[in-house]
Amino acid sequence: MNKRVLLFVAIVAVAASAVISNVAWQDLYALPWSSLQGLGVMLLLGLIAERLTVETAIGKSGSTQSVAYLPLLATVVLFGPAAGLIFIIVTHLTGDFIFRRKDAIKGIFNVSQHSLATGLGGLAYVALGGRAAASVGLGNVEGIDFSWIPLLAFGAIYLSINHALVAKVISLASGAPFFLIWRQVVGRGGGNFLYDLLVSPVAVAIALMGVELGVMGLVLAGLPLLAIRNAYLGTFKLQQANRDLLNALVKAIETRDPYTSGHSLRVANLARLTAETLGVSMKVVDEIEQSAILHDVGKIDAVYNKILKKPSDLTDEERATIQSHVTKGVELLETMSSVSSSVIENVRHHHERWDGRGYPAQLAGQDIPLGARVIGVCDAVDAMLSDRPYRKALDLPTVRRELTQFSGIQFDPQVVKVLVNSEVLEAHATSAASVRIREDSKASGIVSAAGKNADPQPAERSI
């Protein structure tokens, strides 16, 4: 773990400690016995949510997500911000150090960033008039004191700080631009953020069950939480299984040719970052990424082996043969029910040109699907930055000149503009260079320090 990450974790931990010391802990001490029992139930629900955490990923970085946010909100509504801090500290200490056995730095960061977000959100909650709904005990409807404004303020502050800190630590650990990581964390247009904020009524429903039915109401509230979690986990596992299958298929293709090893995954990563920078919806981003992974799937046919490794120019017959990989790829993908029509069209047209001189349909300009246009540029970029049988990799200034020269001729001008004017191209060039160093080291029997450390190391995201 690099020094910048360690410094950032230390700053977050100190800030969390300062905020924790300013929380009104006396409110927690004043809670009646029935409310303390209810807090125990919420802690149990939080621990169950942490135990059933779903593993996800942001780019190359690992992360975890759970439904613990819902019982946290309910805890704040029922018992106040101090109880919310107890909830966060207990659940994340247990989740990170016992359930998931994270290393000390990651565990400290997760506990600290959640505590900081909860503490600052709690201060705003109190400042806006928020009070513990169960301050006089559970099962006492007449004693309820609830307002939506403090709750929404707590949720907005908590989520904003949580997402920003997670994005920042991943950015520091991976070397990726903060803005790109931030967009992946919050979703296009803040979709993930808004979704989390809009589930607040579920937390209020849990709180109302506690107020009306007492401790048993909180116990029963755990059932819908588990249902939400199981549905989310089932969807994620299905998506992961499909992704693993497609990745295995692509790797099987690329093992035939050492010059294209990892090419499709690199193109997919670059295409995803480019699509995000273009500002399209997350659904389209995902489709473009999947299309990029599969763009060369037709080359699985053995007929392309010799042509792909040929160190000299292709004949007209060989060129026609290699172009047929698009059709073969589409034919294969059409047999797979899990691949959408948009992905198939992106694969079909990723060799079209902006001027209409590409293949297989000679589409031009905006008639070419956006995903195909993005993949066409990213495919060319990765090819230029990689060694090939007929030439060595080009340097970044040369790649920039090529993109600019053929913008509006071969490539979509908008896609070229995004790549040339953003940090995405530099990050990809650095990654491609590290791959070449590693491959050269393997070929010579030497594993250099640069080869080991050139790729960004994964960072955990536990929220």
Q: What is the pLDDT of residue 109?
A: 95
Q: Please give the CATH architecture assigned to the domain spanning 238-451.
A: Orthogonal Bundle (1.10)
Q: What is the pLDDT of residue 271?
A: 93
Single-letter amino acid code for the residue at 434: S
> Contact, 118 vs 82, CB < 8 A?
no
Q: What is the pLDDT of residue 461?
A: 34
Burial class (CB in 10 A: 0-12, 13-18, 19+), 186: buried
The answer, yes or no, to whether residue 178 has pLDDT greater than 80, is yes
Q: Which two tokens stand for residue 372?
A: 């195909």
pLDDT in tens, 206-252: 888 888 888 888 888 877 776 766 676 666 666 666 667 766 767 76
Q: Tell me: domain 3-222, CATH 1.10.1760.20, correct?
A: yes
Confidence tier at 460 by pLDDT (50, 70, 90): very low
Sorted by sequence, the CB contacts under 8 Å of residue 111 that are 6+ apart come out as 16, 88, 89, 92, 93, 96
Same fold, 3-222 and 238-451: no
Maximal C-alpha separation, the chain: 86
The whole-angstrom separation of Cα 66 and Cα 89 is 15
Q: What is the pLDDT of residue 269?
A: 87
The whole-angstrom separation of Cα 98 and Cα 356 is 59
When comparing pLDDT for 232 and 445, which is higher?
232
Q: What is the pLDDT of residue 452?
A: 27
Give me the residue spans of the domains in the chain. 3-222, 238-451
> Contact, 357 vs 412, CB < 8 A?
no
Concatenated DSSP letters of 223-238? HHHHHHHHHHHHHHHH
